[in-house]
Amino acid sequence: MKANIGLSSKNIQQVVTELSKLLADEFVLSTKTKHAHWNTEGNDFYSKHLFFKSQFDQLDQIIDDLAERIRSLGHYTPGSIKQFLQLTHLTEVSGEDNNESKSYIKDLLMDHESIIIHCRESISHFGNKLGDFGSADFVTKIMVDHEKMAFLLRAGL
Ligand SMILES: [Fe+2]
């Protein structure tokens, strides 16, 4: 059922398209962070194993919130791995050649920074161009969460 919330269908569609890409990025980044949690090795294994878990727990909360934001706008959310791989800006890595925590951290940090840059563009677009200040505010919170996660990764390098 369409959401009657004072936004045109055209504007809502544009917001949903961007939120769906962000959802796909979060899904891929959560999977990559789980990969790091499972496969990291070295004398810092246990602390990094726990650290990566704390990060994918936050990402999984963001994923659920984002999917439900799309539903709040009256649209269905992408929900298959095939769709996420078509929509994401991020690249998966095999990660089998180097299992040191630093190698995972560098790669994850680049993904967080890329998501932060996309979020910043979306915030301005949603609010100033499309009049959806709710989604602008929603994405602002996600961006701030990524800024904190990126700081914690960066500090470990
Ligand atoms: Fe685990």
Q: What is the CATH number for 63?
A: 1.20.1260.10
Q: What is the total count of domains within the chain?
A: 1
- What pLDDT is recorded for position 1? 79
List, in sequence order, every residue forming a beta bridge with 100; answer none if it has no partner.
41
- Determine the pLDDT at residue 3: 85
Ligand 1 mean position, distance from CA 35 (Å): 10
**Could you state, in chain order, the average pLDDT of each consecutive group of 10 residues for the chain (157 residues)?**
90 98 98 97 97 98 98 97 97 80 96 98 97 98 98 96
**What is the 88 CA–ligand 1 centroid distance (Å)?**
25
In a domain, 1, yes or no: no
Q: What is the CA(138)–ligand 1 centre distance, in A? A: 29
Quote the domain boundaries for residue 41.
9-88+97-154
In a domain, residue 4? The reply is: no
Partners of 41 in beta bridges: 100
Model pLDDT, residue 92: 87
Whether the CB-CB separation of 77 and 67 falls below 8 Å is answered with yes
Ligand 1 centroid, distance to 1 Cα (angstroms): 39
pTM listed for this prediction = 0.96
Q: In this structure, which amino acid lies at residue 5?
A: I
Q: What DSSP line would sit under 84-149, residue for residue?
A: HHHH-S-------S--BHHHHHHHHHHHHHHHHHHHHHHHHIIIIIT--HHHHHHHHHHHHHHHHH
Asked if residue 42 is part of any domain, the answer here is yes
- Provide the pLDDT for residue 98: 85
Asked whether residue 3 is assigned to any structural domain, the reply reads no
Structure confidence at residue 112 (pLDDT): 98
What is the 7 CA–ligand 1 centroid distance (Å)? 42
